């Protein structure tokens, strides 16, 4: 589709661009106003509503935009709703969090919209260049927002570490992309001369084999290229061995942004990974199943990374005493669980990832919201600061218990649904290694119960730190309940969620 | 053919050997008589004053950064200006104009923001909120300890 016709499918992104500029202008216009926090929050919510409306109006079906740079399909639309949810929660949480100065709230919202724009692009990128550019857009804004508290040493340190690790990861990814370009002489993934078409075309496979001294050499080059491209994606979703930035950044960044970072960019990273692997190396058969193309063992690579990621994340989380750091390691572990769905290399696997991400949005943002509430009232984020929370703030403690049990994956909470679907997809796919991976996942869930339960023990069984009722803003209490209730509902009634995911991927419409 | 990879290997080996060879060869061939003036740090012919490791003001970089943005703007606008006539002939003059207008508007908002925030001032003091945040950050770890 040519550029002008594509603009219709690019409307939410265009509006987001305008929203970024509008937030900056509004920030300047309301500088002297005493009620600027209210005006700015209202402005951000209005712009988000307009973007959501434009997203809602998007035509169904698939289309290739801007000559193959972007792809419009149900998968993209699914992810945009996850992004919008995470953004809405962040906009509502940020003004009261006490971590973002009212003078810089407009700047925060403007940068947040720029980040959402990058994530929208990540969800639809179908060209190596747009994949790289969209990941960089998200990364650059993330660096700034991580170091948003300029006077705070931890925030500065986190931002610097994030930049350095990010630079290395994106360099490695670019190298992988240059290898892919060397092999296929194109940056397009889809389309007539795209990488996917070349891989499934027998004559070009023979050409590849000739050009690189037989099949093994060409295959080796391809595998190296994929592993390198995975560096960029793995960095965004915080998988081993690109997870090192995660604990420091989660601890140092302003907590509302940490909550956003743990959900939004992670989901966007999975959008890129799903599109890249399934569009390039898989072909959907008429009966809906996927067949591999090009003999690249990508599910095995992802499986190994997945096992390493969840094991390392869970074992390191065991010894943490700062709750934000513990949640960082737990989010690394969850990246591992999510990768299991990708390693299944089936439609069911991807659908389980989509369902898991929606559930993860609720439970993880909820857990961080409690961290904000407790840090504001008690001045700390250590587990010891949570002692006796059940006495001082019963509702907050109860909702945190729901979030943590859901993160563990205990029935009847929604976390169990997500994990069950991921494990089921692996076992359904069959094969010795897939079952082994599922067993590793189950064992990891058991380990994770230990550190999540540590917090619950502190809240309910330990000697209270302070018996006087803790002050929690009414807005936060409402939000916590609003986040906890869906977890209880989706734990027993996940049909609609699964149906929604199946329309997004592998259902009647191919990717 | 594996031949391609062998080419690269030979090329890399020659490159490494050339650098090592010229350094080692130079070490044995060159005369060695250092003087105080030769040992001095090279500062384009001037005598260096003081240490190189001290804090210096980054304000030049801020201005330079803003300048670079507008330099890039010119670089992007020039090609559009040179093919603008052919757009008009195709009846798409308004489209091209609007596109470049959006581009300039985005940068203009950026300039306005930088200006209003006082980042273009050459001499500036620390803003009160930054000072306060720094003070709080310094006191926070003490409280925790």
Going from the C-alpha of A400 to that of each of A109, A365, A370, the distances in angstroms are 27, 11, 7
Q: Which residues, 6 or more positions from A340, have their beta carbon under 8 angstroms from its beta carbon?
A: A303, A306, A310, A349, A422, A423, A425, A426, A437, A438, A441
- Predicted confidence (pLDDT) at residue A425 exceeds the cutoff of 60: yes
- Predicted confidence (pLDDT) at residue A508 exceeds the cutoff of 60: no
Chain centroid to CA A105: how far? Answer: 24
How many whole angstroms separate alpha carbon B94 and alpha carbon B101? 10
Question: What pLDDT does residue B145 have?
Answer: 44
Judge: A213–B5 Cβ closer than 8 Å, yes or no: yes
Judge: A21–B133 Cβ closer than 8 Å, yes or no: no
Q: Percent of chain B at pLDDT above 70?
A: 85
Judge: B105–A21 Cβ closer than 8 Å, yes or no: yes
Chain A contacts of B96, Cβ < 8 Å? none
How many domains, chain A? 1
Pull the structure tokens for residue B20.
């090592």
Judge: A28–B106 Cβ closer than 8 Å, yes or no: no
Q: List the domain boundaries for chain B.
A: 59-144
Does A212 lie at the interface with B, CB-CB under 8 angstroms? yes
How many whole angstroms separate alpha carbon A99 and alpha carbon A470? 19
Q: What is the pTM of this model?
A: 0.87
A22 inside domain: no
Chain A contacts of B111, Cβ < 8 Å? none
Average pLDDT over residues A385-393: 89
Chain A contacts of B2, Cβ < 8 Å? 213, 217
Chain B contacts of A24, Cβ < 8 Å? 109-110, 113
Could you say which of A103, A151, A380 has the minimum Cβ distance to residue B134? A151
Residues 99-128 of A with CB under 8 A from B: 101, 103-104
Question: What pLDDT does residue B125 have?
Answer: 63
A477 inside domain: yes
How many whole angstroms separate alpha carbon A106 and alpha carbon A38? 11
Chain B contacts of A17, Cβ < 8 Å? 106
- Predicted confidence (pLDDT) at residue A507 exceeds the cutoff of 70: no
Range of the domain at A496: 297-511
From the candidates B99, B140, B145, which should be mutated to test the interface with A, based on the most A CB atoms within 10 A? B140
Does B44 lie at the interface with A, CB-CB under 8 angstroms? no
A464 inside domain: yes
pLDDT grade, residue B68 (50/70/90)? Answer: confident
SS3 A306: helix
Does A2 lie at the interface with B, CB-CB under 8 angstroms? no
A312 inside domain: yes
CB-based contact A479:A92 (threshold 8 Å): yes
How many whole angstroms separate alpha carbon A425 and alpha carbon A356? 12
Residues 23-52 of A with CB under 8 A from B: 24-25, 27-28, 31
A120 inside domain: no
Q: Give me the interface pTM, i.e. the ipTM.
A: 0.76
- Predicted confidence (pLDDT) at residue A370 exceeds the cutoff of 70: yes
Question: What pLDDT does residue A215 have?
Answer: 56
From the candidates A24, A100, A148, A151, which should be mutated to test the interface with B, based on the most B CB atoms within 10 A? A151
Does B145 lie at the interface with A, CB-CB under 8 angstroms? no
């Amino acid at each position: 589709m040519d550029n002008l016709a594509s603009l219709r499918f690019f409307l939410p992104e265009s509006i987001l661009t305008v929203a970024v500029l509008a937030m900056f202008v509004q920030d300047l216009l309301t500088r002297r106003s005493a009620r600027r926090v209210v005006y700015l929050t209202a402005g951000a919510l209005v712009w988000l509503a307009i973007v959501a409306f434009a997203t809602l109006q998007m035509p169904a079906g698939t289309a290739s935009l801007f000559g193959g740079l972007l792809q419009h399909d149900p998968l993209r639309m699914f992810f945009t709703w996850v992004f919008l949810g995470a953004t809405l929660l962040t906009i509502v949480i940020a003004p009261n969090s006490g971590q973002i100065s009212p003078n810089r709230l407009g700047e925060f919202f403007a940068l947040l919209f720029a980040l959402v724009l990058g994530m929208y692009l990540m969800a639809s990128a179908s060209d190596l260049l747009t994949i790289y550019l969209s990941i960089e857009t998200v990364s650059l804004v993330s660096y700034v927002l991580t170091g948003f508290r300029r006077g705070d040493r931890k925030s500065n340190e986190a931002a610097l570490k994030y930049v350095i690790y990010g630079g290395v990861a994106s360099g490695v990814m670019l190298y992988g992309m240059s290898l892919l370009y060397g092999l296929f002489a194109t940056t397009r993934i889809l389309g007539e001369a795209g990488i996917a078409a070349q891989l499934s075309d027998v004559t070009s496979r023979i050409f590849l084999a000739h050009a690189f001294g037989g099949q093994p050499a060409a295959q080796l080059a391809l595998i190296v290229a994929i592993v390198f491209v995975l560096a960029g994606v793995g960095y965004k979703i915080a998988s081993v061995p690109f997870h090192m930035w995660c604990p420091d950044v989660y601890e140092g960044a302003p907590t509302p942004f940490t909550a956003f970072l743990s959900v939004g960019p992670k989901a966007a990273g999975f959008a890129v990974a799903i599109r890249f692997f399934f569009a390039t190396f898989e072909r959907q058969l008429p009966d809906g199943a996927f067949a591999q193309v090009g003999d690249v063992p990508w599910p095995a690579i992802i499986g190994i990374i997945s096992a390493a990621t969840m094991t390392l994340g869970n074992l390191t989380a065991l010894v943490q005493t700062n709750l934000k750091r513990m949640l960082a390691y737990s989010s690394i572990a969850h990246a591992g669980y999510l990768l299991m769905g990708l390693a299944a290399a089936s439609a069911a696997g991807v659908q389980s990832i989509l369902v898991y991400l929606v559930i993860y949005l609720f439970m993880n943002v909820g857990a961080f919201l409690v961290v904000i509430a407790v840090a504001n009232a008690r001045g700390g984020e250590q587990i010891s600061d949570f002692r006796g929370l059940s006495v001082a703030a019963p509702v907050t403690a109860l909702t945190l218990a729901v979030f943590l049990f859901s993160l563990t994956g205990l029935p009847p909470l929604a976390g169990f649904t997500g994990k069950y679907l991921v494990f089921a997809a692996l076992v359904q796919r069959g094969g010795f290694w897939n079952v082994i991976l599922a067993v590793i996942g189950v064992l990891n869930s058991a380990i994770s119960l230990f550190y999540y339960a540590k917090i619950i023990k502190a809240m309910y069984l330990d000697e209270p730190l302070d018996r006087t009722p803790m002050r929690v803003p009414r807005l936060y209490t409402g939000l916590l309940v609003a986040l906890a209730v869906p977890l209880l509902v989706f734990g027993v009634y996940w049909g609609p969620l699964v149906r929604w995911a199946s329309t997004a991927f592998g259902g009647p419409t191919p990717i | 053919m594996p031949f391609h990879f062998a080419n690269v290997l030979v090329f890399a080996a020659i490159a490494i050997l050339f650098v090592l060879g010229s350094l080692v060869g130079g070490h044995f061939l060159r005369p060695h008589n250092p003087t105080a003036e030769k040992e001095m740090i090279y500062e384009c012919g001037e005598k260096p004053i003081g240490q190189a490791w001290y804090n210096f003001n980054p304000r030049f970089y801020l201005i330079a950064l803003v300048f670079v943005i507008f330099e890039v703007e010119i670089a992007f606008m020039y090609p559009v200006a040179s093919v603008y006539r052919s757009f008009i002939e195709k009846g798409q003059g308004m489209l091209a104009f609007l596109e470049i207008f959006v581009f300039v508007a985005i940068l203009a908002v950026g300039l306005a923001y930088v200006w209003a925030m006082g980042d273009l001032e050459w001499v500036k003091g620390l803003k009160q909120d930054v000072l306060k945040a720094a003070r709080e950050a310094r006191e926070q770890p003490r409280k925790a300890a």
